Structure 1
Amino acid sequence: MVSRVRVRELVKAVSISASCRCPAHGGINQIYRNNHEQSKEEIPQTDYAFEMACSSVRYGPGVTKEVGMDLSNSGARNVCLITDENLVKLPPVKAVLDSLHKYRINYKIFDKVRIEPTDLSFSEAIEFARSNSFDAFLAVGGGSVIDTCKAANLYSSDPRADFLDYVSAPIGKGKPVTCLLKPLIAVPTTAGTGSETTGVAIFDYVPLKAKLGIANRALRPTLGIIDPLHALHMPERVAAFSGFDVLCHALESYTAIPYNQRSPCPVNPIERPAYQGSNPVSDVWALNALKIIQRYFKRAVYNKDDLEARSSMHLASTYAGIGFGNAGVHLWFRLCLVLLCKIPEDVTLMPHGLSVVITAPAVFRFTGAMCPERHLEAASLLGRDTSNDRKEDAGVILADILKQFMSEMEIEDGLKEVGFSEEDIPELVKGTLPQHRVTRLAPRPQNEEDLAKLFEDSMSVY
């Protein structure tokens, strides 16, 4: 049997060789000091463990044709197919229906999904699901469709639940999911949200004009079918905005506080959140997503028939989804949520990818000082030679790379160009404050003045 002294020596050796030494990432040695030396009865102030959870995924051109076989294999007899009014007429849904018909799968279609769903549109889908005896769910579409399908599955599986029971605190009760959900297959048609891998569903809460979420590992799809042929149907702007969604997911999950600095420590593992903070497993997925983005993002936007580029970005979306689905996101996501809820009345819609990237340069300038090594590593993977760069410049360097990507993709020059003004900043700050689910994961704390400055710096980007 290995002695305790030898075990301590091994842990110390691993921590010295493998851990990040920046202020925000203490590594394994910090876990050991903070947690393992405490008495068994004492609950640590911060967490000491992370969990790896994601959907099973299947990737390949034309793989959608297998969905009917999957449902038949699972014994499904009555399937809820959720999509939107546009997609129901397009090739991805046709491919799904062909497979369902071929394998004689009974189904009903709900196609009233709202882009940027609300509590009202979620409730409509939930009522549809509760009114039928579905034994499986199938989502065909982007993040809005998949998130709506997750909510319909959850609340139809717990028919007595009130809507706010599972919504994240402090607005909702944030109850853990203890009921058994039905199988859910997700077929993403955009290369952005990564929702096919995550246990998160995002929506606008109309009463407060705020973006909220339902986050629990139980929500994640049973299977994500990533068919790159569907990515060929994305218009240029959709490819650009969804690509920035992937980029920001990867960057924020990699720069979030480490899991062993997140508090409070759960008393019961069922209470451990889906968004845990950066960790060695989520890091792998986030970094590989950045490598793909550097090589294929621009090609995927401006060459819609480039199957290699669009396939790669479709896969990068899944990679980043696994990364942030376990680590979480932080400050840019917090800002984008309030932007989507408080867009000016004369602006019909702000694409999600635009809302996340338009404040990203300001955010990473702000967070760079807290974990400069990670900001510089991300910059290197996105194409910059950082060998002679200083740590104190890390945030500015990463921000400049983001601005270059934005310029190449012809993204609007800041919040002013999409209808906001300095007069909106107090209301934007007010709307940002309740987003505690992601606030705690930011590597640098923020007060109201910091948030106001981030919005101010995002009024013009270039």
Structure 2
Amino acid sequence: MPGAIRISPTRATRAVNLLRTVQFTHPPSCPCHSNPGHHHNAPSSSIRSLATPTDSSQQKEYAFEMAASSIRFGPGVTKEVGMDFKNMGAKRVMVVTDGTVKKLNAMKQAVQALEREGVQYSVFDGVRVEPKDSSIKQAIEFAKPYAPDAFLAVGGGSVIDTAKLMNLYTTCPDAEFLDFVNAPLGRGKPITAKLKPLIAVPTTAGTGSETTGTAIFDLVEKRAKTGIAHRNLKPTLGIVDPLNTRTMPSAVHASSGLDVLCHSLESWTAIPFNERTPRPTNPINRPAYQGANPISDIFSLKALRDTVKYLPRAVKDPEDHEAQSQMLLAATLAGVGFGNAGVHLCHGMSYPISGQNPGYKHAGYEVDSPIIPHGVSVAVTAPAVFKFTAASNPERHLAAAECFGVDISQVKKESAGEVLSEALAKFLEGLGDQPRGLKDLGFKREHIDGLVEGTIPQARVLMLAPNLEMSNVDAEREQLRRLFEESLDY
């Protein structure tokens, strides 16, 4: 061909060999595999191993997925929900709420929106705050005869999580309850069915459940919190309306905000996605909680900064609507972050704390039975947890401490855990009326063994905890025992 550049066979061979040398001696530079913010970068062997027929259970992950619900944020957007259901062609909507929220303006606005558009609905208002497996099953049995073609959840995380499971088990009516429950407490089967549309309208600024594929409850027989986690559980749409959190009592602002705090801190400090094992043999088995990754990092760190800035204001002044609005947005941001990266020790340890409550009833909650709010149960171990995890990645823990206003310019890496722990304790004390350790919740040293045994089965989140010796259960027990002991008082 005229003008073409001719390359001799010898030169062509040399060029190919050079490209091969570059490919196999330099790590890939795309952000999915190179994350300098973590203590481990993806090794070049992670690419080579894709073509190597080895035991997948021993291979590290090489990819992450980003999944979140669509979100609509703005004051007054609740009134649009009727149009949303009409637009999607829904004929029979199951509205899910609890006994307190059903009296609030958020529920009034949602029901009026359905009625304006002529959308048929039925209301289930029996959601239990901090749900148990029995209350979840009761809700499912209520929904089955109605045969809804869509769901609307109006309430906090307990309501949204209950609605997710009503949706799951009405779609899969022949499934046994433990089929989808996280292993090892349940069978941990992936959800292959396409669920019905679910719109979530949060009325608390905490769980971020409107963005995630996770639903949490107490499994009473095992005396532990667990749940179901899969991307197919995610709500179709989250209606995030700041007007709906103005009725939250100060105690609820505080405890739900502590959940946001730990969501962001745990997802920011979770092991990197490319350090998690096993690598899934099929994408459907890739867990929702994948480990920290470059996209979740953005959401988690922003949520942490905003929580530190706005939560004290929201707790202190019930008329500070800017702070309330920003905390609701922070909860959603943290939901996107941890919904893809995951949480670890604070949450893993919180489940037996809630499930083995010795009789504590948190002030500000209108319930008849003892209750340790979820945010309280996660935050109470946070000072001890982040002192423990800091050695895995001092830079990340120092970056977190900086969010609390700490000058880290002269702090040595080996002091990162102590510095973040002190910053956390000071922040928690500044909120006022918060338990300063497990002792304030009624736990004593003799309860620790039970708390440890209730934490061990939480493999779904513990696998993302830096420094935890999960390969040696005796060593893991000892580490958890020390963390609970240090959390008795801070």
- TM superposition score category, shorter chain reference: over 0.9
Name 1:423's counterpart in structure 2: 446
Q: Distance in 2 between matches of 1:255 and 1:36?
A: 27
TM-score, L = length of structure 2: 0.90
The amino acid of 2:248's aligned partner reads M
Residue of 369, 376, 382 corresponding to 2:391: 369
Residues 105 and 12 from structure 1, CA distance in 2 versus in 1: closer, same or farther, beyond 3 angstroms? closer
* Contact kept in structure 1, 2:305 and 2:403, CA below 8 Å: yes
Residue of 138, 144, 155 corresponding to 2:158: 144
The amino acid of 1:452's aligned partner reads R
Name 2:172's counterpart in structure 1: 158
User: Which SS does the other structure have where 1:131 is aligned?
Assistant: helix
Name 1:457's counterpart in structure 2: 486
> Mean alpha-carbon deviation: is it higher for 34-43 or for 87-96?
34-43
Cα RMSD (Å) of the superposition? 2.0
User: Which SS does the other structure have where 1:83 is aligned?
Assistant: strand
Structure 1 residue 380 corresponds to structure 2 residue 435: no
Structure 1 residue 41 corresponds to structure 2 residue 53: yes
Name 2:421's counterpart in structure 1: 399
* Contact kept in structure 2, 1:79 and 1:108, CA below 8 Å: yes
Q: Distance in 2 between matches of 1:306 and 1:231?
A: 11
* Contact kept in structure 1, 2:360 and 2:371, CA below 8 Å: no
Instruction: Report how many aligned residue pairs link the two structures.
Output: 457
| C-alpha deviation, 1:236, in angstroms | 0.6
| C-alpha deviation, 1:345, in angstroms | 3.4
Structure 1 residue 445 corresponds to structure 2 residue 468: yes
Name 2:241's counterpart in structure 1: 227
Q: Name stretches of at least 5 consecutive residues in structure 1 with no aligned partner.
A: none
Deviations 1:216-262 (A, max 9, x none): 00000000000011111111111111111001000000111111111
Deviations 1:155-204 (A, max 9, x none): 10011100000001111111111112000000000000000000000010
Name 1:298's counterpart in structure 2: 312
Over the matched positions of the two proteins, sequence identity in percent amounts to 52
Residue of 296, 313, 318 corresponding to 2:332: 318
Q: Distance in 2 between matches of 1:11 and 1:366?
A: 30
> Mean alpha-carbon deviation: is it higher for 377-386 or for 195-204?
377-386
| C-alpha deviation, 1:40, in angstroms | 4.6
| C-alpha deviation, 1:382, in angstroms | 2.5
* Contact kept in structure 2, 1:43 and 1:265, CA below 8 Å: no
* Contact kept in structure 2, 1:253 and 1:277, CA below 8 Å: yes
| C-alpha deviation, 1:21, in angstroms | 6.2
Residue of 281, 285, 289 corresponding to 1:275: 289
Deviations 1:117-150 (A, max 9, x none): 1111110111112111200000000000000000
The amino acid of 1:179's aligned partner reads A
* Contact kept in structure 1, 2:264 and 2:300, CA below 8 Å: yes
| C-alpha deviation, 1:342, in angstroms | 0.2
Q: Distance in 1 between matches of 2:339 and 2:21?
A: 37
Q: Distance in 2 between matches of 1:326 and 1:13?
A: 22
Deviations 1:101-128 (A, max 9, x none): 1111110000110111111111011111
Q: Distance in 2 between matches of 1:292 and 1:455?
A: 28
The amino acid of 2:343's aligned partner reads V
Q: Distance in 2 between matches of 1:222 and 1:125?
A: 20
Q: Distance in 2 between matches of 1:164 and 1:245?
A: 26
Residue of 254, 258, 269 corresponding to 1:255: 269
| C-alpha deviation, 1:9, in angstroms | 8.6
| C-alpha deviation, 1:14, in angstroms | 5.9
The amino acid of 2:161's aligned partner reads D
* Contact kept in structure 2, 1:228 and 1:310, CA below 8 Å: yes
The amino acid of 2:203's aligned partner reads T
Name 1:173's counterpart in structure 2: 187
Q: Distance in 2 between matches of 1:12 and 1:102?
A: 55
Residues 75 and 399 from structure 1, CA distance in 2 versus in 1: closer, same or farther, beyond 3 angstroms? same
| C-alpha deviation, 1:41, in angstroms | 3.5
